[in-house]
Structure 1
Amino acid sequence: MAATATARYAETLLRQNRSHAIESTFLDDFVDVTCDIDDAECAEKQYTKREELWRAWNKANDGVSKRTRGLVLFAFLMAGFGANITLIKIAQQDLSTDLFAALRFTAGSLVFAPFLKSALKDDRIVRGGFELGLWVSLGYYLQNLGVELTDAARASFISSFTIIAVPIIAGLSGRSVRSQTWIATAIAVAGLAMMEDLVSVPGLVDATTATAVADVVAGDAPASLRGDLYTLGSAFIFGVHIFRTDCIFNGVYLKHKESMGLVCIQMLTVVTVFFGLLARDYLNCDCDLGAILGVNSIAEIPWGLIGFVGVVTTAGCVYLETVALTLLASQEATLMYSTEPVWGALFAYMLLGETLSPSAAAGAGLILASTLVGSISSGGSGGGDEGAESPESPRADAR
């Protein structure tokens, strides 16, 4: 009977450790056997397929510890995520930022399209995906404005404010906030002030060249500062996105395919928003379409860059993230996330030749330190596999 086959599978998972049960979920994406609820023979076949995939997965990683696999995979992930801001900066040289975002997420959504069917069966996932997609859209809209006005290296470090934004937003909603979070916030604000030359620091920022706060309030801030503020705003919006994800789906079990379908819905929402922005600009502008898009023909669009960012450093990294999160304890995973701005600055230097001034470098160091302190305050048992985050968590970290 189907119930017997299902019970057998559940019993097997209970005998295995928690991480084994979590890891089997992303492997289910490759189980090409779908069954009706009362089809016992099909259920047995599905169970056998899972076992085969699990044995193959273990064999392929024989001799390599889970932690080592997790660290290596996270290094590739953070490099991919860290490269995105620099690649956006490069794309802005060739076409409209809104067009690039629309096409980038179109490519990304195609990767997750096979999971869409599972997500559309649940109205809660559809509604949640649409709301979360709007938050992501606003975050990327502000980020795009910021990257246009500031350096990619600076934007990479400022974007890491999301790590401390999440517990602050949770605190504003009435949840308790650890003292480490406020310490991390103070360090980050000090780092931002130093990066923006808002305070005089002997040997780094001369009092005669420091940007006056009064000028900033009066609206006379340098373009780079305005860009950094847009980027800071985007970081907090991404924090709202993560917080709302927790509010909507906390305690809700989502199968891996449903979770990936949720990501697809969010990406499709982003695509709709950015194409809508392009349509609005065209209707409100007495100019030709080429002036809005930044290109005069389809051939001028950098399809290779769009495909790489959309498929590899966005969709590919988001999917592999669900695998990596099963391999590291949550505390180690959170610390790995804090390395993303370092990768961002490295790619900005290699691809754009950007370097940070001494004061900006010192400020960036403080911001990085704040993310480390924020990582400690964000919790996580840090005690082995039990701290690993489940890939069923409806994430959409398409940075």
Structure 2
Amino acid sequence: MRIRTWQADLALLAVTAVWGATFPLVKNATDLAEGGVPTYWFLAVRFLMAAALLGALFRRRLIGRPAATWRAGALLGAFVFAGYAFQTFGLAYTTSAKAAFITGLSVVIVPVLSVVWLRRPPSPGAWLGVGTALAGLALLSLNDDLLPTRGDLLVLMGALGFGLHVAGVSRFAGRHDPTALAVIQLGTAGVMAGALHLWERGTVGPGVEGVLWWGPPAHVAAATVICGLLATAAAFLLQNLLQPYTTATHTALIFAAEPVWGAIFAYLLAGETLEPRGYVGAALIVAGMLLAELPIGRRNQPKPLEAAEQK
């Protein structure tokens, strides 16, 4: 079947809408006061579910992989876990809309990491994007005392984890099978979350039912399935299938819509809104994301990073 560019773009835009919807869903699912579940439990089920599905579909890709692939996947999985753990804990202390835009800063964090880790000097447009996004972050997160909130700082740490993950994918994906790498990192993130959930419950082995128990409220079950199957496993498959049919510029523009979708769903599902200053800051963050990703001042446009599994 021949896929046209507009069809691929539309499907990828739907993927970003699913990613945006996860912010209020996760915030509600992990709110213990509203009948939610512990953060580590939610993350463990989400990632183990996605890893099990992709592992079953691509089990042949895992057989015989060298130790280097497993090490790289484990490192990327640690970055994925850190990103989601900080983001999810931060959602308890900030709004879904603000968290969505702050998470988008991972795009502009990558150029800075590229200098330190990948030894790649960013383009002038990338540096301009970093400055623009930081100005937006200040407007979005600083309160009247010019101090960031606890939740905003935690989500920002999550954005750093996602930035490390994207930079790591750029470093390792060309050397290893990307599908095997994705399954390994998702499994690693799930195991880390499950282990911390057990530790948090003060158990060593007999309390494994604390991780595998499946009797949450309906809203938690729905959020887990949407995040595990749609926002992680299915999103990864769709991006890998469809991204070759579009361009890097289109992909950058489409993925910049994720925090916008996050704000829309935060309003529709939770009635959250931003202050006028916050909307200006959010607009600057999106502008910074576009400046960092679009080929401004680049002689050779790099290939798009395959990082859908972090969403």
Name the TM-score class by shorter chain: 0.7 to 0.9
Structure with the greater relative contact order (CA < 8 A, sep ≥ 6): 1 or 2?
2
What does 1:1-399 align with in structure 2 at a 5 Å threshold? 57-58=1-2, 66-93=4-31, 94-114=36-56, 115-123=58-66, 124-173=68-117, 174-197=119-142, 210-212=144-146, 216=147, 225-250=149-174, 252=175, 258-283=177-202, 298-301=214-217, 302-377=220-295, 389=304, 395-399=307-311
Tell me if the contact between 1:116 and 1:265 (Cα under 8 Å) persists in the aligned partners: no
How far 1:396 sits from its partner (Å)?
4.8
Residue 353 of structure 1 deviates from its aligned partner by 0.7
State the alpha-carbon separation in 2 of the partners of residues 394 and 127 from structure 1. Answer: 18
| Contact in 2 for aligned 1:263/1:394 (Cα 8 Å) | no
In structure 1, the gaps of 5 or more residues are: 1-56, 199-209
Does the 8 Å CA contact 1:112/1:261 hold for their aligned counterparts?
no
2:184 and 2:9 map into 1 onto residues whose CA distance is 29
Q: Distance in 2 between matches of 1:300 and 1:335?
A: 37
Report the alpha carbon displacement of residue 394 of structure 1 after superposing the two structures with TM: 5.7
Over 3 Å counting, the alpha-carbon distance change for 1:177 and 1:308 in structure 2 is closer
Kept in 2, the 8 Å contact 1:326–1:388? The answer is: no
Residue type of the alignment partner of 1:189: L
**Structure 1 147/248 Cα, relative in aligned 2: closer, same or farther at 3 Å?**
same
Shift of 1:289: 10
Secondary structure of 1:355 counterpart:
coil
**Alpha-carbon contact 2:70-2:181 (below 8 Å) kept:** yes
Q: Which residue identity lines up with residue 113 of structure 1 in the other structure? A: G
Aligned-pair CA distance for 1:117: 3.4
Aligned residues: 299
Q: Which string of whole-angstrom CA distances, capped at 9 and with x for unpartnered residues, describes residues 244-297 of structure 1?
A: 2222233x3x5xxx422221111110111011111111228xxx999x88xxx7
> CA contact under 8 A between 1:194 and 1:360: conserved in structure 2?
yes
Percent of pairs with identical residues: 26
Conserved 8 A contact 1:120-1:126:
no
Q: TM-score, normalised by structure 1?
A: 0.69
* C-alpha distance 396-303 of structure 1, shift in aligned 2 (>3 A): same
Larger Rg over CA atoms:
1
**8 Å CA contact 2:233, 2:309 repeated in 1:** no
